[in-house]
Chain A
């Protein structure tokens, strides 16, 4: 980031299951959540492919009838490898097909207009982002480029960069990637600013659809200092749903002796039922899931109690508390020093989670006064306004975030040599001394990793560089390695041999598995292609409707009055046959060009001109323009 960005900006919360967009409203001094074309404040992160492409509510609504081409959970795939153990289980549960592409990158196979297409997770995310962009543009009534996108605090570098790439493919200028709990803290700070002049330690508990994050933030006088952050990028509402689905698949098998686990349509319907039941269980003690003819004509009818649901997910809930404890430990803070516990993310509504948290903090006043579904987008919009020069009135706040994962070099024996420990405030520059292990070692290699595992190989490899031309000296020759991390998360690593002055380093930008600029360019072109196709489809639907409407009205008109004065019976028959042909055209799937229907409509209009002039002018005026 050089200076501030020109033009207005929005904040997008790109969630695993739902996404949300907000913009800063200068005149009101607050951010506004923008409703989508369905009137909803959050949009499902779903993309579906049929003879057209659907994004958001439309995609989720048809999920049960088109399970293998309805893509969701792209956030769980983004920036990961196909072999990643975290998604191994998901691969079995997803009704859509994921294959391993180049560099072990997971690729999603979809059927679009009868043709098979392979899409990267970045492309799916970019489609959701472009939808959010459109929603914002429609509301704000001007075209937008700048955006702040949020990611889970515990996302690693690859996942962050892949998210940024998705933004680029969607035609956005991603001003900053910020952490979800931090964004929520900004929202909390702004909405409760009356209390924020004095020091407050705020614990953000963000349990969303797919990820779990906690952050401890100290707010004082408009400065937001993140003290520590921890999380799990694969723990959220989806996992609770999975547990329920698995439970019911077994119950169904026990009762009816049929296995539905191979039927994607049945699984999708069951999953939708489970998601609904989970929500109900947040306020009711028990509920019944009823799905007619779920499998082989057998109806599904099972009830579940809140206790059973809690029991199914007990270990997951307990994991949340463990991670919360780790975060407090890292921040070196006692539970009683925390002033406020803020709940963020839809799954934070689960009563068991709340009661565990209350027990954990030994307090009964969790902060529920900010909207858990919208706080993240709200905070992102605040950050977006701070980074854009188009706003003159922005909150006087600054954010000092931390690095969620330790950064270091893999040393002899695949040990992780940490240089920047996790939870260090950004920007940061730190160095470490590493030494050669062989006599007369000519070159030293520096594989840069991030992660908490002692074994470097189990962490995330960011890049590799070498320092050559070392002097011919016995082992133990020291080299200084400098790590520098800036606000945008760009890491520069440099190794210096101080005896010779030799220097080498890298800026971590394009590690393996990330999209190359050529690929991004191709995907941008493809996104434009999809957009064009969407437009064509819309145009075709409109043309079809117009033709259908015209035939319907003309038929009615022909029946309704004596046309013999105008037309001979044979003429009438010709016209009627033309109408029948038109109807056949509308019903068949053969034509998908708008022009075909438009032309046919024009021909019909010409033919019917003589009768129209006299009798149904008032009808046809609007059509004959």
Chain B
């Protein structure tokens, strides 16, 4: 008994805040997309990345895909999510870019970059080396991704889309 715990809370909302990569971006749809379009995008991506087709390496991707799909298909969760990105967008308002909505250069790939805000120390190194990809968010004191695939890969140390690119 002494060692038991008490539940604090559990929900998808925690994931929403933590998920640095935008769900809309992951699915390759716009924020105005309707359920039909989201479902279509989801199906197309499932067929491409399902572990039955590509093996274990599809696991991480489909994990996020399922998460994004559930949130965007459920009205209550979607509203919450939209609100949370809007709020964060306001916090980032300086650059006039909605949060997380980095744009793609070239075809959409399965990997996307993002900056781990907690780990970024604001050294601007990344902005200097890959200025087409990163942008400095002065309000937050950390870097952000502006354009996916904006620079040559060698300028960006990408390990995988889940490995957070540390700015140091």
Contacts and interface: CB of A to CB of B under 8 A. Distances in A.
Contacts of B9: 432-433
Contacts of A220: 39, 43
30 contacts: A3-B55, A222-B47, A223-B47, A386-B52, A398-B47, A409-B5, A410-B4, A412-B1, A412-B5, A412-B6, A417-B5, A417-B7, A426-B66, A428-B67, A430-B10, A430-B12, A431-B10, A432-B7, A432-B9, A433-B7, A433-B9, A435-B8, A437-B4, A443-B3, A444-B3, A444-B4, A445-B3, A446-B5, A466-B3, A484-B63
A88 to B, nearest CB: 30
A2 B14 CA distance: 30
B46 interface: yes
A418 interface: yes
A442 B97 CA distance: 46
Interface in A406-461: 409-412, 415, 417-419, 424-438, 441, 443-446
User: Which 10 pairs of residues, A with B, have the shortest CB-CB distance?
Assistant: A432-B10, A417-B7, A433-B8, A434-B5, A445-B3, A398-B50, A3-B55, A425-B66, A223-B43, A412-B4
Given A411-B5, A487-B52, 19 more contacts: A1-B51, A4-B55, A221-B43, A223-B47, A387-B52, A396-B47, A412-B1, A415-B7, A426-B66, A427-B59, A428-B66, A429-B63, A434-B7, A443-B3, A445-B3, A446-B5, A484-B63, A486-B51, A487-B59
A457 to B, nearest CB: 12
Interface string B1-31: 1111111111110110000000000000000
B53 interface: yes
B70 interface: yes
A434 to B, nearest CB: 4
Nearest to B43: A223
Interface residues of A, number: 48
Contacts of B56: 1-3
B131 interface: no
Interface of B: 1-12, 14-15, 39, 43, 46-47, 50-53, 55-56, 59, 62-63, 66-67, 69-70
B15 A444 contact: no
A479 interface: yes
Given A417-B10, A424-B70, A426-B66, A411 B47 contact: no
A438 B46 CA distance: 45
Contacts of A478: 8
A419 B47 contact: no
Contacts of B8: 432-435, 478
Contacts of B66: 400, 424-428
Contact of B53 (A398, A410, A429, A466): A398
A221 B41 CA distance: 12
Interface string A450-488: 000000000000000010000000000011000010110
Given A2-B55, A424-B70, A430-B12, A444 B5 contact: yes
Contacts of A409: 5, 7
Nearest to A466: B3
A222 B59 CA distance: 19
A506 interface: no
Contacts of B46: 223, 398, 400
A87 interface: no
Contacts of B62: 427
A431 B15 contact: yes
Nearest to B55: A3
Interface string A218-230: 0011110000000
Contacts of B59: 427, 486-487
A585 interface: no
Contacts of A223: 43, 46-47
A399 interface: yes
A441 B3 contact: yes
A399 to B, nearest CB: 7
A411 B55 contact: no
A426 B55 CA distance: 15
Given A387-B52, A427-B59, A437 B43 contact: no
B2 A438 contact: yes
Contacts of B47: 222-223, 396, 398
A446 B7 CA distance: 11
A337 B52 CA distance: 29
Contacts of A398: 46-47, 50, 52-53
A576 to B, nearest CB: 70
Nearest to B51: A487
A12 to B, nearest CB: 18
Given A387-B52, A400-B46, A425-B69, A411 B7 contact: yes
Contacts of B6: 411-412, 434-437
A73 to B, nearest CB: 32
Contacts of A3: 55-56
A405 to B, nearest CB: 16
Contacts of B14: 431-433
Contacts of A399: 52
Contacts of B2: 438, 441
Interface string A5-45: 00000000000000000000000000000000000000000
Nearest to B61: A427
A484 B6 CA distance: 21
A6 B103 CA distance: 41
Contacts of A433: 7-10, 14
A486 B57 CA distance: 12
Contacts of A1: 51, 55-56
Contacts of A424: 66, 70
A425 B6 CA distance: 26
Nearest to B48: A398
Contacts of A386: 52
Nearest to B1: A412
B53 to A, nearest CB: 7
A339 to B, nearest CB: 16
Contacts of A432: 7-11, 14
